[in-house]
Amino acid sequence: MELMVSDYGSFLGKKSERLVLKQNGKVVQEIPFHDLEQVIIDTPGASLSTDLIKECMEHGIQISLLTSTGKPYAKLVSPYLTGTVITRREQLLAYYDARGINLVKSFIEGKLKNQANVLKYFAKYRKGTDPEAFERLREAIVKIENAVGELKEVTGKDIDEVRGGLLSVEGRAGNTYWEGVKLLLADKVEFPGREHQGTADPVNAAFNYGYGILTQQVETALLLAGLDIFGGFLHVDRAGKKSLVYDFIEEFRQAVVDRVIISAVNKGWEIVLADGQLPQETRRNLAGMVLERLDAQETFQGKKYKLKTIIQSQARRIATYLRGEAKYKPFVSGW
């Protein structure tokens, strides 16, 4: 399980073989370390004991820290998780050859196909009730699927040579997708389209926070696979920028976060900002929905797996691809 800590003044400590969560000096939860996968903290007022940190590192439990908007700013992780030197050497070399291009094309292909499938998932409920909206969604789906074919036409010797062309395909498909999302939400809220950090729109704030939760899952998967989270391909290098995380996460945003938020809003979930931020209770509910979705099963390689297991499997597949041991194919969700 993942433990989400949002209450100001929370204390996390260790008692025997269990994590102990206290609020106002009272024990509110005890979790055996062998049942815990990750601790996520999104409050500035929490404190942790050093013996808890040591125990988490020995059990491979990562401690992630987020701002109240869902932006990750720190992670406590054992330094021994990234001890696979050969993988990291190949990862850095791949920037200068076709492997980097092929990985980015796969990430974008997965993103576009999952965008189309999210629209298909919700459009099927509009076919009988709102034929006009259904037709507009169908047209958007066709445009996004056509963009998948355009990826094959972008060629070059390394990622620097093709980055512009790939970003162009991704950007145009993204604009079409978010227009489709806007149409899906039109009956419930005035969604202005996709806005990033600093947005004053409640639904975009929910997307940003949900992506923050997903970012921690993706980052953990890449670290466990022995990859350098700063050595990306599509996202350009910059000190402190987790470029590979931002590359890889694109394959999963739609299946994990977008479906959850679109569904919740369509079912009447009202999102209101307080002082420009999501209230604590809203963040707690949203985190619970995203973590529940990560535990949901999808078909992958002919079998059913939890989404968080698929993310980990795909991260390991990146590593084996870079070492020349396997091919890499993107995950595509059902609809």
Identify the H or E element spanning 72: strand 72-76
Please classify residue 155 by burial: count the beta carbons closer than 10 Å to its beta carbon, then call 0-12 exposed, 13-18 middle and 19+ buried.
Answer: exposed
Residue with tokens 């945003």: 253
Amino acid at 2: E
The Cα–Cα gap between 163 and 322 comes to 19
- Quick count: other Cβ atoms within 10 Å of Cβ 82? 18
Class of domain 85-322: mainly alpha
CATH of region 2-66: 3.100.10.20
Residues 6+ apart with CB under 8 A from 180: 119, 136, 137, 140, 141
**Cα three-residue angle 107-288-276, rounded to 5 degrees:** 85
Note the pLDDT tens digit of each residue in 113-159: 999 999 999 999 888 889 999 999 999 999 999 999 999 899 999 99
Question: What pLDDT score does 70 carry?
Answer: 85
* Domain residue extents for the chain: 2-66, 85-322
Q: What is the pLDDT tens value at each position of the chain, 335 positions in all?
A: 889 999 899 999 999 899 999 998 899 999 999 999 889 999 888 999 999 999 999 888 889 999 888 888 888 888 776 667 899 999 999 999 999 999 999 999 999 999 999 999 999 988 888 999 999 999 999 999 999 999 989 999 999 999 999 999 999 999 999 999 999 999 899 999 999 888 999 999 999 999 999 999 999 999 989 999 999 999 988 877 899 999 999 999 999 999 999 999 999 999 999 988 999 999 999 999 999 999 999 999 899 999 999 999 999 999 999 999 999 999 999 98
pLDDT digits 0-9 by tens, 17-47 = 999 999 988 999 999 999 998 899 998 889 9
Query: How many Å apart are CA 297 and CA 190, to the nearest integer?
Result: 32
At residue 222, the pLDDT reads 94
Six-digit token string for 288: 């619970």
Task: Provide long-range contacts, Cβ within 8 A and 24+ apart, for 55-58.
Answer: 55/14, 55/19, 56/19
Angstrom distance (rounded) from CA 335 to CA 332: 10
